A and B are shown apart, each in its own frame.
Chain A
């Protein structure tokens, strides 16, 4: 079974802090994704990466950056956390190229910025 793990289930940070969210997958997937999930808005793509050191902006990249130094690890960085970044953050991975294109999700990190 594919396993996607995220470094924390719950995280509380103060406004202005630098925040690192880590995601690790164990199935040698090329693609990795970061989403945020907010009530009524569904999942919105922040960034994705299709290879080591490669990254692409999603729909809402402002205020975030990412790092992918190793294939299995994809980090989301909040350079200066703000209260409007309080959300559930979900990491996912998928195999490329492949006919199924399904994504495997981690359990999520619920981030609260106070």
Chain B
């Protein structure tokens, strides 16, 4: 399968804590992207990391990519209740995107 696999499937933390989600994959990629989906809504693009990059930051988000291990992680620092959502990694290859089944994050106020 060319899909990414997120881990854990569900994560529950207190507001202010950090949340880490992981994505593993099996094929080569052009880039890897992370998306957020609020309940019952469409996905929103968060951040992209190219295959030749190792780390990327955007606000409270930090993404790492290890192509030798075929894995990526998304770190959300100082989480807020509004971060409660599902998070998906998406692999990009040859104009197609391959999404995993997501990590459901619950941030308790």
Contacts and interface: CB of A to CB of B under 8 A. Distances in A.
A84 interface: no
Interface stretch (B62-70, B71-79, B99-107): B99-107
A102 B41 CA distance: 17
Contacts of B96: 45, 48, 58
Interface residues of B, number: 23
Interface residues of A, number: 26
A96 B92 CA distance: 13
Nearest to A45: B96
Nearest to B97: A103
Contact of B41 (A43, A92, A103, A108): A108
Interface string B15-35: 000000000000000110101
Given A100-B48, A101-B31, A102-B33, A108 B99 contact: no
A56 to B, nearest CB: 8
B42 interface: yes
Contacts of A100: 48
Interface in A21-41: 31, 33, 35, 40-41
A64 interface: no
Contacts of B48: 100-102
Interface string A90-114: 1010001000111111111010000
B93 to A, nearest CB: 10
